[in-house]
Amino acid sequence: MEDYLQNLKRVNPYVKHIINEIRRNFDGGLYFGSDQGFHIAVGESIGKYPNGELIAYGGFGTQDDSAVDREFVLNKLFKKGYDNFPHNTLFMPKYNKTYTVDSKNNLYELNSSTTFMGDALYLCRCSHYNLPKRDDKEYRTSLESKHFFDLMIKTVYKEYGCDKPEILDDLRQIGAIELEIINEKDLQIALKFLQTYFTGRKFLSSVSTKKYNDLFSKFKFE
């Protein structure tokens, strides 16, 4: 939690607000687990990793002396030592476009964390950007979000008014969504997206446990 709270100081006030709203809604019975970023899941708020179905991993601020920015996330989505890691595309709904890194020759030079102030939250399909499972078998569930993240992509595409259908042709390839928030207008769009996603019929119908369904239906992003 200490790393998480320190990292909140490394993003602008708009990004900090959206992260605080996510945490506020998940507090009180739903899983919100923090390190330098955070996991959100359909499950109880206990343990280091989700013991329920992962919705997304949130990355922001800085990590390992590097700025968590577009270049950092794209490098993470090209997973070294995993030749066929399928989730190697970053979706940027604000700009109606995607970037894909499919070769180590296309990796980016990382930017220093010194004086960095982040202007984006990255919602990711896999834990810590590119860890779809734990090898030690300690946790009961996958650390890869599947249908919940696919629905997130479709929802953000619609709420941001994107108009390139090819973006949705292979949902599984998208491993992260960039929510760039640099002003009040960006913030309101991001809040509306989250409200629509978590309280929408398709998401709630995918949450089979009534207890959790009731909690999600009361979410309010302000």
The predicted model gives 212-218 an average pLDDT of 95
pLDDT single digits (tens) 63-88? 988 999 999 999 999 877 776 789 99
Domain annotation covers residue 214: no
Which pLDDT value is given to residue 84?
A: 75
Q: Are 192 and 93 in contact (CB under 8 A)?
A: no
- Confidence band of 139 (pLDDT split at 50, 70, 90): low
Sort strands 89-92 and 174-180 into parallel, antiparallel or unpaired.
Answer: parallel
Best-predicted range by mean pLDDT among 128-132, 135-139, 155-159, 209-213? 155-159
Q: What's the domain count of the chain?
A: 1
* Residue 217 counted as domain residue: no
Structural domain includes residue 218: no
Residue 75 lies in a domain: yes
Tell me the Cα Rg of the chain: 16
Residue 219 lies in a domain: no
| DSSP secondary structure letters along 139-180 | SSS-SB--HHHHHHHHHHHHHTT---GGGGTTGGGEEEEEEE
Average pLDDT over residues 18-25: 97
Mean pLDDT for 211-221 is 95
Note whether residue 216 is domain-resident.
Answer: no
pLDDT at 136: 60
Cα–Cα separations (whole angstroms), residue 117 to 7, 19, 124, 133: 10, 15, 20, 30
The answer to whether position 64 is within a domain reads: yes
**Contacts (Cβ under 8 Å, ≥6 apart) of 104:** 78, 80
Domain residues for the domain of 150 are 2-209
Residue 179 lies in a domain: yes
Residues 6+ apart with CB under 8 A from 79: 85, 88, 130
Residue 110, number of CB atoms within 10 A of its CB: 16
